[in-house]
Chains A and B, each alone.
Chain A
Amino acid sequence: MTRYISSTINHCILLIGLLIMIVPVWIIFASSTHSSLFINTNGLQFFLGDNFIENYSRVLFKKSGFFNEITALKMFFNSFVMATGIAALSVITSLMAAYGLVYFKIKYATIIFWLIFITLLVPLELRIMPSYIVMSKLNLVNTFAGLILPISASAIATFFFRQFYKSIPDELLEAAKLDGTSSWRFFIDFLVPLSKTMIAAVFIFMFVFGYNQYLWPLIMTTSEQYWTVVMGLKTMYGSISDRFAFVIMSMIPPVVIIVFLQKLFIQGIFQNK
């Protein structure tokens, strides 16, 4: 009986938390399916309207920006490329950096690691001018490479992978050595599959980080062709329901990535048990 009560209480608390998070999003979504006129006269809506297709297709395909050169669809594409690039490159560079630091007999590995780690103290906003100068000297302004490269190495991810590698027993490497594996094959056949769960976590983290970038793409792009969703949010001057529709759509890519990778994440946890 007490168990029943305590589980009811637990569920109530969880439900309240869920409502606090979901209701505002729902209201935005419900409002985005009404016409602007209706919202302006009746306020925010809790129930769905019938302008869903009309509003969303208008927002997706309408040319916007200062020079009307870009559609929301293109912004989503830009953001997706940028976030995926940052996440993928971060995973690759930090996996490899950690591999080098842990498994190769580097004389000052610990010092090198701490040097990498203290770059956490220098976020992009602090080094934005030098980064911009480097990129512009390399002629990478208004390119995806310019958007991605300066944010494509992550000290915190290197730290996570390093700690994880250190927890892998040495015997595994020794057994693999006796089985004739090379350094590269050990990395591909052992470390990458073993860190699958960590890779998923770092990928999610870096994807959201990349997707949320505002200042860097603002500085790196002069052409509207390279605008991202977050920049678009700032410059969306359409009607109120259009803005709501844009906000809702801007949430979709990170949510999809999280839902998709979470599955892999949980799978990994069960396999390693």
Chain B
Amino acid sequence: MSFLELQNITKIYPNGTKAVNETSLNIDNGEFVVFVGPSGCGKSTLLRMIAGLEDITSGEISLDGNIINNIDPSERDVAMVFQNYALYPHMSVFNNMSYGLKNRGISKDEINNKVNDVAKLLEIDQLLTRKPSMLSGGQRQRVAMGRAIVRNPKIFLFDEPLSNLDAKLRNQMRLEIKKLQRQMGVTSIFVTHDQTEAMTLGDRIVVINNGVVEQVGTPKEIYSKPNTKFVAEFIGSPQMNLFQCKIENGLAKISDMQINLNNSLNIQDACIGVRPDDILISDQGEYSSSANLVEYLGSDMIIYSSVGGQEFSCKLSSKINLKAGDNFKFNISPSALHVFDNNSGQRV
């Protein structure tokens, strides 16, 4: 039995919107799982149902062997970090962090020790007497984390906690969250719409779309073997190139470009995906095209081009000398191809 089990969880709002549909998921103790998906896909709703802040329409959630469907959020022993931190504006940092402990009837000395330890760990021990309004965004973030950590909960829930920070701070906090989670070994669920965050943080990623889990797997599995067209497009930056095509006897025809898939597939309405970094540019390339636009990113550059009216991008080292308007030749290795059936959206 897993530490956290979701069984056929469905959430239908009173207005009839189905936010989460028959979702089942097992999460092991100590695991760091990331829910990722576009905004409005139901990932936050799922998290809030685990926290107990949202009623469950049907299905069952069990935590550490107990069914928690009808257990009050305060008794579930979960801690949550909110997107806007939800710090208590009228309380000092110390009181923000100790409030949950006080409600649990823990002695004053123990509260002092715990809060001080966590504050040191998060390097906010100088700020304990301040009010949240006197803190910077990064510091507020730390206090919000501290408030969650100090309670030593069974499970940490993060609801897009980094989206209010600037890019530099976001990267820094991301690393720290990962480090802290490893250090403390607490089961964590992190919700984000940013695939980079998902890839870097998660032991496992759950890709959600329209209230349905599209794929669950390690970042590597999800990146190298996306189950559906949606996952293929959503994960990876720049996003995967998808070519609409017809496959006859293992030969994919994208207007006048033909790719041999080395199999005997026959699909009328198919879609072939290639990661931008799997397009290899060389003078001996099998296919040719011209660069419409070149984006310089420092060590890499991204070339935007098109084949038979279908646009694609490729990512290559910026050492290669290529300007907009230049012709180039390229190869695609059949092993780097992802074939999807357009009708089902599933990987073939």
Contacts and interface: CB of A to CB of B under 8 A. Distances in A.
B103 A169 contact: no
Interface in B73-92: 73-75, 78-80, 82-84, 86-90
A110 to B, nearest CB: 16
B257 interface: no
A98 B88 CA distance: 20
Given A169-B84, A171-B84, A177 B131 contact: no
B168 interface: no
B103 A180 contact: yes
Contacts of B133: 271-273
A271 B90 contact: yes
B53 interface: yes
B84 A181 contact: no
A172 interface: yes
B103 A194 contact: no
B241 to A, nearest CB: 40
Contacts of B73: 174, 177-178
Contacts of A125: none
A171 to B, nearest CB: 4
B99 interface: yes
B51 A190 contact: no
Interface in A178-200: 178-181, 185, 189-190, 193-194
Contacts of B53: 174, 177-178
A176 interface: yes
Interface in B82-120: 82-84, 86-90, 99-100, 103-104
Contacts, number: 63
A190 B95 CA distance: 12
A178 B78 contact: yes
A175 interface: yes
A171 B82 contact: yes
A205 B151 CA distance: 43
Interface residues of B, number: 26
B76 to A, nearest CB: 8
A179 B99 contact: yes
B74 A169 contact: no
A180 B75 CA distance: 7
What 5 A-B pairs have minimum CB-CB distances, sorted nearest first? A179-B100, A171-B86, A180-B103, A180-B74, A175-B86
A172 B88 contact: yes
Interface string B137-157: 000000000010001000000
How many A residues are at the interface, by size bracket?
10 to 19
B170 to A, nearest CB: 20
Contact of B80 (A169, A178, A181, A273): A178
Contacts of A273: 133
A181 B72 CA distance: 11
Nearest to B104: A180
A179 B103 contact: yes
Nearest to B78: A178
Interface in A222-273: 271-273
A235 B223 CA distance: 90
B81 to A, nearest CB: 9
Given A179-B100, A180-B103, A181-B103, A272 B89 contact: yes
Nearest to B90: A193
Given A174-B53, A185-B103, A179 B82 contact: no
A174 B86 contact: yes
Contacts of B99: 176, 179, 181, 189
Contacts of A179: 74, 99-100, 103, 147, 151
Contacts of A181: 74, 99, 103
A180 B99 CA distance: 9
Interface string B240-268: 00000000000000000000000000000
Given A171-B86, A175-B80, 11 more contacts: A172-B88, A175-B147, A176-B99, A177-B74, A178-B78, A178-B80, A178-B100, A179-B74, A180-B100, A193-B90, A272-B133
Nearest to A174: B53
B80 to A, nearest CB: 5
Contacts of B51: 174, 178
B82 A174 contact: yes
A73 to B, nearest CB: 40
Nearest to A193: B90
Nearest to B133: A273
B90 A176 contact: no
B342 to A, nearest CB: 41
10 contacts: A169-B84, A174-B82, A177-B52, A177-B74, A178-B53, A178-B78, A179-B99, A180-B74, A181-B74, A181-B99
Contacts of A177: 52-53, 72-74
B118 to A, nearest CB: 14
